[in-house]
A and B are shown apart, each in its own frame.
Chain A
């Protein structure tokens, strides 16, 4: 497939935004159960604001994918059958829920509404956070299923696609939270070790599942269609000599990335280094060295790495229609 840049931006930005929210809420839960020192309420307000900005930027870039963005509202119509429609509903919903969560923190609605038997205080922010967590996971599933749901793209048609979207988004969100914690850190208290630990855990998990999908796509996929089934002629030696156009068509532009196999393979190495290797090393450093620079670099490297990862995700997928478009003339 030809990697559409609007989709590369959309999926990486909303993934990071969702992950950042999950990081904030995880931190809050840990604090609430007294497993972690209390957060500065500013931390949640600023964090949620960044998460909202990321989600909005993602939504904004999605419009560039549409031929008729002015009609985008129509796309909520077929949520019963279309994962794309579901995502288009899930994205503003998650955005709204995260915004409510941030607003509750901003307005300081932290009076306990009830107290559990164990003495844990439940306030409005926790309830809204739970709601937002559900919407964020629904959004991850919808985003992943848009790709995993097309059975013709065998490279995508696997649960690993949804898992990777979720884990990569979560990992990048926790890395951003680490940088945020470094920004809010004082000499006495720092939340950096907490967020860095989780960022490392999610980055490692994502490394495992993303590598699994790379290996699956490289070694274990048998294309279901071939030239014989494409034109229905039972001969092993079929060569295209004309595809019905002299200067290419939508079919040649939309489904071919136009780069060599070597380039795609090189990009795979690049993203493995940028999404996993470098951020992991930097996050380990962030434990011991104070300062904002190291986690910020980790955020930037990982984000650009994720853009490369998404590019590869698209370029790696081989559409069966390509069988009909091997040779211009």
Chain B
């Protein structure tokens, strides 16, 4: 069975919100839209988003690091939000594991959002139905798009390639390899929801620099060299100084 999902690399996410805006742009104008914006230029702007980037400060100053954390529906393999829905508007697709809401059936009772521990569902204040990430189900199968664009809008837009998309049940897929080789993990595993989306942890980046890499022995620009060059009558003539 296929289970499509996102794998998000916290090590390279720079918190630019490109995924947030491209998600909103794609989805508000498509199948899952409109996604309301209220008070967009006022004091308390609010609206529906399927994907948000949050930022966390880890540690105590000055030993702090900022982690940018994109959060959207995790398309849980055991989605607690689905069985509680009284109308059947919330469902998980057999063929690819995507969790979706049928806007035409939803009565806007918000019960499913209570049953999601991640706060991934948002009630649209204008359409008054429950909305959430669709994994761009209207992009990924669209044969009118070139094959390498059949990916969620957020994945397409990420400038640092922090978002990978694929089938986490196929052990040879890029996402499965990334989870396996880079210690991918799930959020709040204690609830048994088995999120399909995974996160790749921060890694420490280290490079080793030897002193002779800082001071190249034959560096023509080094001060010592210059002194020699400028010494009267012993230095090279100007014609020999092409490397200057």
Is A319 interfacial (CB-CB < 8 Å)? yes
- CA A72 to CA B128, docked complex, whole Å: 13
Q: Please report the total number of B residues contacting A with Cβ < 8 Å.
A: 61
Is A324 interfacial (CB-CB < 8 Å)? yes
Q: Produce 1/0 per residue, B52-67, CB < 8 A to A.
A: 1111111110000011
Q: Find out whether the CB atom of B187 lies under 8 angstroms from the CB atom of A74.
A: no
Q: Find out whether the CB atom of B105 lies under 8 angstroms from the CB atom of A74.
A: yes
Residue from B83, B119, B129 within 8 A of A67 (CB atoms): B129
Interface-facing stretch out of A104-112, A127-135, A175-183, A239-247? A239-247
Majority SS of interface residues in chain B? loop
Interface centre among A72, A79, A232, A251 (most CB of B within 10 A): A232
Q: Produce 1/0 per residue, B26-56, CB < 8 A to A.
A: 0000000000000100011111110011111
Q: Find out whether the CB atom of A231 lies under 8 angstroms from the CB atom of B56.
A: yes
Interface centre among A81, A153, A324 (most CB of B within 10 A): A324
- CA A225 to CA B116, docked complex, whole Å: 13
Q: Find out whether the CB atom of A233 lies under 8 angstroms from the CB atom of B56.
A: yes
Is A259 interfacial (CB-CB < 8 Å)? no
Contacts of B57 in A (CB 8 A): 238-241
Contacts of A224 in B (CB 8 A): 190-191
- CA A289 to CA B111, docked complex, whole Å: 47
Given contacts A81-B84, A239-B56, A245-B46, contact A321 B109 (CB under 8 A): no
Q: Please report the total number of A residues contacting B with Cβ < 8 Å.
A: 58
Interface-facing stretch out of B85-93, B162-170, B212-220, B224-232? B85-93
- CA A78 to CA B202, docked complex, whole Å: 42
Given contacts A75-B107, A233-B202, A255-B119, contact A247 B83 (CB under 8 A): no
Contacts of A321 in B (CB 8 A): 116-119
Q: Find out whether the CB atom of B56 lies under 8 angstroms from the CB atom of A249.
A: no
Is A214 interfacial (CB-CB < 8 Å)? no
Given contacts A67-B123, A232-B185, A232-B201, contact A152 B115 (CB under 8 A): yes
Residue from A72, A237, A242, A322 within 8 A of B54 (CB atoms): A242
B103: min CB distance to chain A, Å: 9
Q: Find out whether the CB atom of A75 lies under 8 angstroms from the CB atom of B87.
A: yes
Query: Nearest residue in A to B71 (C-beta to C-beta)?
Result: A324
Contacts of A25 in B (CB 8 A): none
Interface-facing stretch out of A52-60, A82-90, A161-169? A82-90
A222: min CB distance to chain B, Å: 11
16 pairs, A vs B, C-beta closer than 8 Å:
A67-B109, A67-B128, A68-B106, A74-B87, A75-B107, A85-B87, A224-B191, A229-B188, A229-B190, A231-B56, A237-B60, A244-B53, A247-B39, A249-B46, A324-B54, A324-B71
Q: A74-B86, A229-B187 are in contact. List 19 more A-B contacts (CB 8 A).
A: A65-B109, A66-B107, A67-B106, A75-B87, A76-B86, A81-B83, A82-B86, A83-B84, A149-B84, A152-B115, A225-B117, A239-B56, A249-B46, A249-B52, A250-B121, A320-B117, A321-B119, A324-B54, A324-B119
Interface residues of A (CB under 8 A from B): 1, 65-69, 71-72, 74-79, 81-85, 88, 146, 149-153, 224-225, 227, 229-233, 235, 237-251, 254-255, 319-322, 324-325
